[in-house]
Structure 1
Amino acid sequence: MAIKPRSIFEEVSETQKPVAAPGGIDAKGRGARGAIRVWLMMLFALVVVMITVGGLTRLTDSGLSITEWAPLSGSVPPLNAAQWEAEFEAYKQIPEYTEQNAGMSMAEFKVIYWWEWGHRQLGRFIGLVWGLGFAYFLVRRQIPTGWTGRLVFIGALGGLQGAIGWWMVHSGLQEGMLDVASYRLATHLGLAFVILGFIAWYTFSLGRREADLMQARRAGDAGLVTLSGVLVGFALVQILLGALVAGIDAGRNFPNWPLMTTGTGASFFPPDPFSLTPIWRNFFEDAGLVQFVHRMSGYLLMAFAVFVWWRARRSPNTQTRFGFNAMLALMVVQMVIGILTVLYSAPVQIAIVHQLTAVVLWIAILRARFLARYPIAQSIRG
């Protein structure tokens, strides 16, 4: 079919071109970002409470009061005198009772039992909050694109944490054990901080639009992101070392700083740090060496934090610099509390504050790294 030529003087009607709607990229598949963020913040608060209760359970020597793992039936506590007697009799069979708590009354047993039962119930409740929340958003198809796997990952870590919790308790029920194995306690606490870290990072991310994050990443400081990532790893190692200290009550030995008191006076090094065989046992079981390593790691962590903070001062972004200022301030506070914990032989009140400050510091480091990677837009004057 031949095309009819058109005159150069012919009027041509202009067709209206579609106008791109702002925020189109971010609108597709964004889901209920705000509601999911609130749900994650609830999980975050519950995990913080869980870490606190777990710390108090350890400090009150309550963790071995329940000698079996019953994920479903264990949610119901003893309801009558016969059931309480059965639980107490089971506790009397383990070394902690026979070698350390022989003669404990039923009233005393109930105190430690309720601590451990509450700790386990809180874990079940966190799992329920995750499960109900995830199912709600999944059924309503409100999970943002790319976020389903991340939310499932949080739930999987929670399930793994429950299994590790029993793995830890089981070690304390064995012959010759008066407490749980310190390295298993460190694994349990370390995973709790990992879970808390992922929840915090996801909460930070959901607080801003995807388009904003894509734009902000272009302005991120790659070098500072790398350094703060190393700082995150270093802080986690220090947390694990702190769990080793708590696991063998090493914080109640050598109540001096900066030296360590021995039978012959004060010394920088602990006495006989490698007396156990094989030699690796000393890093988990020798109170002096475990506390010494925790101290030295704390000094190195503080020095590295100062270095990262100094590097962050070069950032042109006000919020990023503030994030690293907050991180360093909390690092100093945590170090002071750690010294007080040693000087007062780790009383429950100071020890639990030391653990809670570790949580706040951990989140501050992650927040600073997030701001280095996704700086908040500011005016040229700002």
Structure 2
Amino acid sequence: MSALPTASDTANRERPRSIAVWLFVCAVLVLTMVAVGGITRLTESGLSITQWKPITGAIPPLSQADWQAEFDLYKATGEYRNVTGPAGMDLDAFKFIFFWEWFHRFLGRLLGLAFALPLAWFWVRRAIPAGYTPRLVALLALGGLQGAFGWFMVRSGLSGEMTDVSHFWLSIHLLTALFTLAGLVWTALDLRQHAQGRTAPSRLTRASLWVAAILFVQLLLGAWVAGLNAGLVSDTWPLMFGRLVPEANWANGVAWTFLHDPFWLHFLHRWWAFVAAAALVVLARRVRPLERRASIAINAMVGTQILLGIATVMSGVALWLAVAHQLVGALLVASFAWGAHVVGRREPEFPRAETSH
């Protein structure tokens, strides 16, 4: 007869399961931040707060004088002098863009607390399984870096006559968020498997690493397209200005064109999408016999993302289509992490049965 589970056995299962649930909640907060970040970018709200005050900045302006002071700081930016000021922005319009940037930063602070406080609680109670503390601390550090990268991004748009943030800093900011999201999902899945008896963490296989590299290129191109407002250069699909391959500016060299030219980056982003889609579908086929739900999630996100990308272009980058495109991109990263985790799982570790003599 097998022995009945002890209280210790139950605790060993429940603790990693509880930590996994907490990490999934944090992943949902990251998804929310990605969506709000998209709204912030598309409404040109990112430069509305010109100072980084991690503590006192959590409180928005409370008086008319405070609002006017913030507006005056914004008026010193190149964006106001060259774009929004000449368009007639008043204080009420400024309050609108200020809200989205403040809300985005507020969610960042909320996520930091939602991660750091439970981590400390689990740590003090010695509830974290062996080997997972460094990984959880690394995820906390990534969250801190994300906030710092966000400020460097904003600061890049406040110098001189700049009217937008650097697309390089925007890509670092966004890709760090998506990497953190993948890490949260992967670690939560590891812990859920741990609660079911698989104590060996999943591994990233070589095939999954190739898919990750292909997806990374597409996400990087998407971030550059967003930062350069390159989605606006063409509202037709599949052709751009009646051509499959658009005219690009090669006068400054190949490197400049691949890093800065909005027409060329738009072209690369719309067609590399199908390379990424093919790689993800192949991964989904490998996942299907192991966990059908993960395979369905990957395929669904791939198809939805491509349709949203086309719709975003043809709508002239309509706000909510573009936000949905960014959000589904983040969901695609999460579904990839799920599928790659399934492929890399190891067999459950069961104690060997003792043979009788």
Q: What is the TM-score of this pair, normalised by structure 1?
A: 0.83
Structure-2 residue corresponding to 1:32: 15
* Offset of residue 288 of structure 1: 0.6
Q: Is 1:145 matched up with 2:130?
A: yes
Measured in 2, the distance between the counterparts of 1:28 and 1:80 equals 51
Structure-2 residue corresponding to 1:256: 236
Q: Is 1:97 matched up with 2:80?
A: yes
Residues 320 and 34 of structure 1, relative CA distance in 2, 3 Å threshold: closer
Q: Conserved in 2, the CA contact under 8 Å of 1:56 and 1:352?
A: yes
Q: Is 1:268 matched up with 2:229?
A: no
With 28-37 and 63-72 compared, the bigger mean Cα shift is at 28-37
Structure-2 residue corresponding to 1:190: 175
* Offset of residue 174 of structure 1: 1.2
Q: Gaps (5+ residues) in structure 1?
A: 1-18, 378-382
Q: Conserved in 2, the CA contact under 8 Å of 1:26 and 1:210?
A: no
List per-residue Cα deviations over 1:269-328 (Å, max 9, x = no partner): 2223324x3653333432211101112311221233344445x2xx7x733355334423
Q: Matched residue of 1:32: which SS?
A: helix
The count of aligned residue pairs is 345
Q: Is 1:360 matched up with 2:331?
A: yes
Structure-1 residue corresponding to 2:148: 163
Counterpart of 1:296, as a letter, is W
Structure-2 residue corresponding to 1:233: 213
Residues 75 and 278 of structure 1, relative CA distance in 2, 3 Å threshold: farther
Within a 5 Å distance, the mapping from 1:82-231 to structure 2 comes to 82-102=65-85, 103-209=88-194, 212-213=197-198, 225-231=205-211
Of 226, 230, 235 in structure 2, the residue corresponding to residue 246 of structure 1 is: 226
Measured in 2, the distance between the counterparts of 1:327 and 1:39 equals 23
Q: Conserved in 2, the CA contact under 8 Å of 1:29 and 1:145?
A: no
Structure-2 residue corresponding to 1:286: 261
Measured in 1, the distance between the counterparts of 2:31 and 2:40 equals 14
* Offset of residue 28 of structure 1: 9.7
Measured in 1, the distance between the counterparts of 2:104 and 2:297 equals 31
Measured in 2, the distance between the counterparts of 1:206 and 1:62 equals 38
Residues 146 and 25 of structure 1, relative CA distance in 2, 3 Å threshold: farther
Q: Conserved in 2, the CA contact under 8 Å of 1:31 and 1:142?
A: no
* Offset of residue 176 of structure 1: 2.7
Of 273, 281, 284 in structure 2, the residue corresponding to residue 298 of structure 1 is: 273
Structure-2 residue corresponding to 1:6: none
Residues 89 and 322 of structure 1, relative CA distance in 2, 3 Å threshold: closer
Q: Conserved in 2, the CA contact under 8 Å of 1:197 and 1:366?
A: yes
Measured in 2, the distance between the counterparts of 1:175 and 1:143 equals 48
With 103-112 and 203-212 compared, the bigger mean Cα shift is at 203-212
Residues 348 and 42 of structure 1, relative CA distance in 2, 3 Å threshold: same
* Offset of residue 153 of structure 1: 0.8
Counterpart of 1:84, as a letter, is W
With 24-33 and 100-109 compared, the bigger mean Cα shift is at 24-33
Counterpart of 1:274, as a letter, is W
Residues 29 and 145 of structure 1, relative CA distance in 2, 3 Å threshold: farther
Identity %: 37
Q: Matched residue of 1:78: which SS?
A: coil
List per-residue Cα deviations over 1:136-163 (Å, max 9, x = no partner): 1112221111111111111100001111
Residues 84 and 278 of structure 1, relative CA distance in 2, 3 Å threshold: farther
Counterpart of 2:115, as a letter, is W
Q: Conserved in 1, the CA contact under 8 Å of 2:14 and 2:195?
A: no
Counterpart of 1:366, as a letter, is A
List per-residue Cα deviations over 1:197-221 (Å, max 9, x = no partner): 000001111112367325897xx9x
With 323-332 and 292-301 compared, the bigger mean Cα shift is at 323-332
Residues 84 and 231 of structure 1, relative CA distance in 2, 3 Å threshold: same
Structure-1 residue corresponding to 2:289: 318
Q: Gaps (5+ residues) in structure 2?
A: 349-357
Q: Is 1:66 matched up with 2:49?
A: yes
Measured in 2, the distance between the counterparts of 1:141 and 1:205 equals 18
Measured in 1, the distance between the counterparts of 2:280 and 2:106 equals 37
List per-residue Cα deviations over 1:30-86 (Å, max 9, x = no partner): 772122122112211111111111111001000000011111121121111111111
Structure-1 residue corresponding to 2:354: none
Of 279, 300, 319 in structure 2, the residue corresponding to residue 348 of structure 1 is: 319
Q: Conserved in 2, the CA contact under 8 Å of 1:182 and 1:248?
A: yes
Counterpart of 1:292, as a letter, is F
Q: Matched residue of 1:319: which SS?
A: coil
Residues 339 and 325 of structure 1, relative CA distance in 2, 3 Å threshold: same
Measured in 1, the distance between the counterparts of 2:135 and 2:290 equals 27
